[in-house]
Structure 1
């Protein structure tokens, strides 16, 4: 199912680069199908479901570069990472078989070192929406909405 994630602004990368006001990202399964102005994408993909994130800035999901949040179970630790707008963790912090298994079950990427993130057509659909205070409103991991702030 095609889903269009729309926000007041879409940034292709957090560190510089292009941005689109009233932009959107089209997600097809686990991949990004298109990026651009919302009006253009709803015309190109008329049957897609549209998720609007008013007041938000949508960009690539982040890499969690610190020790994982404390929680009672590995699954809850990964969920806390997803709630922060990150879909990747560093291997040095996912250092037990249980944490790596929880990461794999949730499609969280385990990286040997940090890397820049970007929204790329045909790339994995890892997105995050942040409000004006920097708090995560929503996280999309491999095309699935895994966190939504109410």
Structure 2
């Protein structure tokens, strides 16, 4: 199923200039297209549209130890609540923690790579409010966190 994610502003790169009236088209776990909302809406009329408040951009890379929590699952969930979609492998030495990260489909990277929104890339997205609060996290095309 095709899903069109849009927000008032979109950043293709974490520190990139935000652009209005843009969207990301997702199919399964991949990004099909990134571009003007009107163009994607007319070109993919059957796509489900998810409209989010805030700024839509690539998911975040977490470069540090995972936050403390009672269980590995809760440690991973603490990252998802902030918009993190990737973590460096060196911070997942504990097998239970690595398994929890893999079950959540977090991208485990050997080295830091700046996340971007691009066609054929993995559909890892995050929407943040003006105060930096994460409103939505999408990992490999699945909504894994949504602020109530």
TM-score w.r.t. structure 2 length?
0.95
Partner of 1:73: 71
| Shift of residue 19, structure 1, vs aligned partner | 4.1
Residue 50 of structure 2 aligns to a residue in which SS?
strand
Q: Give per-residue Cα distances to partners, 1:100-131, cap 9 Å, x unaligned.
A: 11111111122222211101101100001101
Q: Give per-residue Cα distances to partners, 1:8-31, cap 9 Å, x unaligned.
A: 111110123x64312110100000
Partner of 1:98: 96
Match of 1:113 among 87, 94, 111: 111
Residue 90 of structure 2 aligns to a residue in which SS?
coil
CA distance in 1, matches of 2:103, 2:27: 20
Could you list the structure 1 runs, at least 4 aligned residues long, displaced by more than 6 angstroms after superposition: none
| Shift of residue 95, structure 1, vs aligned partner | 1.4
Q: Contact 1:20/1:36 (CA < 8 Å) preserved in 2?
A: no
Partner of 1:5: 5
Q: Contact 1:3/1:27 (CA < 8 Å) preserved in 2?
A: yes
RMSD (Å) for aligned C-alpha atoms: 1.2
Partner of 1:15: 15
Q: Contact 1:7/1:22 (CA < 8 Å) preserved in 2?
A: yes
| Shift of residue 139, structure 1, vs aligned partner | 0.6
CA distance in 2, matches of 1:120, 1:77: 29
CA distance in 2, matches of 1:84, 1:135: 7
| Runs (5+) with no aligned partner, structure 1 | none
Residue 118 of structure 2 aligns to a residue in which SS?
coil
Partner of 1:82: 80
Partner of 2:37: 38
